[in-house]
Structure 1
Amino acid sequence: MSTISSPPFVISLLLLMSIPLVLVLAPWVLPPKTMPSIPDLDEAEDLALFRRAAVPYFAGSGGARFLRRPTSEPKIAFLFLTNTDLAFAPLWERFFRGHERLFNVYVHADPATRFILPPTPSFRGRFINAKSTQRASPMLISASRRLLATALIDDPANAFFALLSERCVPLHSFRFTYRTLGGYLHLPRQRSYIQVVSDEPGLWKRYVARGDDVMMPEVPFVRFRYGSQFFVLTRRHAMLTVRDRRLWKKFKLPCLRSRNHSCYPEEHYFPTLLDMLDPAGCSRYTLTSVNWTDSVDGHPHTYRPPEISATLIKELRKSNSTYSHLFGRKFSPDSLDILLELADGVIFRD
């Protein structure tokens, strides 16, 4: 009797023949080991945008190049990251009213967003070319850099760049906000208002979210920083972020799925980059008040109508230093009416 037809031999032969098929189908059958990465096309388009923003010149007639200088008073660029309706646009309209020459608005809206509310005047036509965003991925960093780059290119008078979410609201009048930021425009060295923390619990887990050694040698753990996603950058620092390639090649790497609960790239890239490049130029604190006391799944506390009062607004303004918070988050969309009621008598009454 031939041994070729024996069951053990047939089974072994089939298993051996199936190995190439397994290797081919594995990427389609097995779940990926990493979180989604930035598509190559998005990365290429961003690089072209950042190159334009990083060179503060424009081409004149005959190919000559001239330095673009502000032709108006310094402005604040308000940069909104959103994936929902801009529910608080009516409140921001009251905040902006009468100060049109001192600010610009830019909105990065995830392409999947389905807007129901029509844009109000200050937001109409201010939506930039946006890409998909997703938590636990570097996509939010890319979105923030797109906003910075667009604002840099759009108006050379933009002097401060305030990153906000659609759930952020102003805690002071525009006059107070501009005076707070504008008071530093005439100093020899302006500072960015960005939180920079080096001893946050669980920092090591965040550092190795992409793999144990992948951040080296560009970002050693002793230089890895944490901070609020929301900041106010000077023009110089905005320029530094869009020029960066060295740290970005590390931070754009996707996190491991097994460590996605420690993956918050947007809270690390900007504090790490600016602390490495210009530590003296960072305030090391944020101007956006956030309540993390009862956070859920990485989200801060959401303020709802029953909680909102003049007392809450005054509490959110407070900080652990001499400065005042200028913005607050996170508010539920149905709190708009009560915030509008408090606007003139409390929020905008400094």
Structure 2
Amino acid sequence: MFSSPLVVCFALFLSLPVVYLFSSSILPSKAAAPVPSSPLILPSAAASDELDDLSLFRRAATPAGRPPKCNRLGLKKPRPKIAFLFLTNSDLTFAPLWERFFKGHDHLYNIYIHADPAMKSSNTNSSSRTSTASSGKRVRLTGSRKHSNHLLLSWPARSIWDSGYRSPGGVFDGRFIVSKRTERATPALIAAARRLLASALLDDPANFYFALVSQHCIPLHSFSFMYKTLFGNSLEAVQAYINPSKFPSFIEILSDEPNLYERYTARGEDVMLPEVPFEQFRVGSQFFMLTRRHSLLAIKDRKLWRKFRLPCLNKESCYPEEHYFPTLLSMADPKGCGHYTLTRVNWTGSFDGHPHLYGPDEISPDLVYQLRESDLGYSHFFARKFSPESLRPLMDMADDIIFGTEISSSGDSGI
């Protein structure tokens, strides 16, 4: 028989693996080095927004959301439409001016509004700004305003109505899309623009041009001038379905601006590589007019978005909304774009990255004529940035100056 000390030693030897296995849960361990979080991992709220957007983008990119093929003669085909995409974080102050702009052209346009749910209204007590949509109920968005179409709009958990915002009514009534928080100089503005594009693509297959504007934008021409400049006469407009590549997008694309390298490296020295080399990094106005094919390209993109959504280390040089679309389209189809914007902005005396704000004392016919002009020989369609107090003088000259006279025919517009 084995002696007792030998048995005890043998038992202790056999128990060593068990002791080692459970020691980590019994004894305190050294603090592990923190694992750096990946910049591609989004916070839970942002991840939820991203999943919502991806679902919307997939639906908008399916063949069901695309315009049906046109027959040889273009019969039984509606004329192409312009989708006006309003990206706003405050009241649509210039809604009365836009109402007059759209009047009489119901079959040629659609309106879509992305309103920041955190926005604050300056007109919460104005009865003129209430509407049937202000109840916060779900609103059916229809491309033709007569028939239910593709998109059912509902509000996120915190509706913009909770902040006191009221729909301006009229042509804007029921035109709000599901919206997320936005913030200047962040990827949230890119996401909002893509959300507007996808909603408009999905809603009406006849939407051909997609114009992104802000609440501070005003039209500089009549709707008729704008439409004829883009599409020509009725027979030429049919070409939008037969030969869409004939029609360019209008987006500012610049490659030689000061401080471009500082903006390129705002997320880190080599973070944008390999997808976006500095030689292909572009800048331009965040407001554009894209064709349907380029709008589809924007909502299908995943590669560049993974880079542009990353947080910036240098906040002073971070303006992703001015780089994403110009870079994407410059890389994908530079010859399919007019490398200029149709929105006039005055950067003289700009402050903190904001352009000049026109006040009521500056509004005059001469200002409208001046804002229309371009050094490149084309006419601007829109202008920004205007103070809310500018509405009255603008309305006073809307019929006679803004919508009543044109500086040239569509053939001389240079577009």
What range describes the TM-score normalised by the shorter chain of this pair?
0.7 to 0.9
2:251 corresponds to 1:251: no
For 1:333 and 1:255, the matched residues in 2 are separated by: 32
Higher relative contact order (CA 8 A, sep 6+): 1
**Maintained 8 Å contact 2:216/2:386:** yes
The whole-number CA distance in structure 2 between the counterparts of 1:136 and 1:74 is 33
**What does residue 76 of structure 1 align with?**
82
Alignment match of 1:302 (pick from 349, 357, 368): 357
Separation in 2, partners of 1:303, 1:67: 40
Q: Structure 2 regions of 5+ residues with no counterpart?
A: 1-27, 71-76, 131-167, 407-415
User: 2: distance between equivalents of 1:105 and 1:134?
Assistant: 22
Pick aligned residue for 1:52 from 59, 64, 76: 59
| One of 335, 341, 344 as aligned partner of 1:289 | 344
**CA positional deviation for 1:311:** 0.4
1:136/1:255 contact within 8 Å kept = no
RMSD: 2.4
Give the secondary structure class of the aligned counterpart of 2:344: strand
The structure whose Rg is larger is 2
Deviation at 1:54, TM superposition (A): 1.1
Q: Summarize the alignment of residues 13-28 of structure 1 with structure 2, pairs less than 5 Å apart.
A: none
Partners of 2:69 and 2:201 in 1: CA distance: 12
Contact 2:67 2:205 in 1 (8 A): no
Alpha carbons 1:300, 1:330 under 8 Å: kept: yes
Q: Which among 374, 379, 400 is matched to residue 345 of structure 1?
A: 400
| Equivalent of 2:295 in 224, 227, 238 | 238
Q: 2:228 aligns with which of 169, 173, 179?
A: 179
| Farther off after superposition, 106-115 or 169-178 | 106-115
Give SS of 2:120's match. Answer: coil
Matching of residue 111 in structure 1 with residue 83 in structure 2: no
* 1:140 to 2:197 alignment: no
Name 1:43's counterpart in structure 2: 50
Report if aligned partners of 1:226, 1:271 keep a CA contact under 8 Å in 2.
Answer: yes
Write the deviation string for residues 139-183 of structure 1: whole angstroms up to 9, x where unpaired.
000000000000000000000000000000000000001111123
Residues paired across the two proteins, number? 317
Distance (whole Å) between structure 2 residues aligned to residue 152 and residue 291 of structure 1: 31
1:104-155 per-position Cα deviation (integer Å, ceiling 9, x unaligned): 0000000012343332211100000000001121000000000000000000
Picking from 327, 332, 335, the partner of 1:272 is 327
- When residues 120 and 140 of structure 1 are mapped into structure 2, their CA distance, relative to the original with a 3 A threshold, is same
C-alpha distance in 2, partners of 1:55/1:134? 30
Distance 1:247 1:67 in 2: 26
What is the TM-score with the length of structure 1 in the denominator? 0.86
- 1: CA distance, partners of 2:209 / 2:115: 21
SS in 2 for 1:107: strand
CA–CA distance in 2 between the matches of 1:299 and 1:201? 17
1:210 matched to 2:267? The reply is yes
Residue 229 of structure 1 pairs with residue 286 of structure 2: yes
User: What is the distance in 1 between the residues matched to 2:69 and 2:354?
Assistant: 40
Q: Report Cα offsets for 1:284-318 as digits up to 9, x if no partner.
A: 00000000111110110000000110000000000
The one of 124, 142, 146 equivalent to 2:173 is 124
The corresponding residue for 2:385 is 330
Deviation of 1:23 (Å): 7.2
Say whether the 8 Å CA contact 1:88–1:336 is kept in structure 2.
yes
> Cα offset for 1:67?
6.8
Distance 1:51 1:78 in 2: 21
Specify which of 172, 196, 200 is matched with residue 253 of structure 2: 196
Q: Does the residue aligned with 2:397 lie in a helix, a strand or coil?
A: helix
- In the alignment, the residues of structure 1 paired with residue 99 and residue 67 of structure 2 have an alpha-carbon distance, to the nearest angstrom, of 33
TM-score, length basis structure 2 = 0.72
Matched letter for residue 195 of structure 1: E
Inter-partner Cα distance in structure 2 for 1:347 and 1:67: 33
2:251 is paired with a residue whose SS is strand
Q: How far is 1:21 from its partner?
A: 12
C-alpha offsets along residues 25-54 of structure 1, whole Å, 9 cap, x if unaligned?
Answer: xx9xxxxx9xx9771000010001001111
Match of 1:14 in 2: none
**Measured at CA, do residues 201 and 85 of structure 1 come closer, stay the same or move farther in structure 2, by a change above 3 Å?**
same
2:303 aligned counterpart, secondary structure: coil
Is the aligned partner of 1:91 residue 2:102? Answer: no
Look up the SS of the partner of 2:328 in the other structure: helix
* Stretch moving more, 184-193 or 215-224: 184-193
Identity %: 58
* Alpha-carbon distance between aligned partners in 2 of 1:299 and 1:226, rounded to the nearest angstrom: 16
- Provide the rounded CA distance (Å) in 2 between the counterparts of 1:21 and 1:168: 54
**Matched residue of 2:50: which SS?**
helix
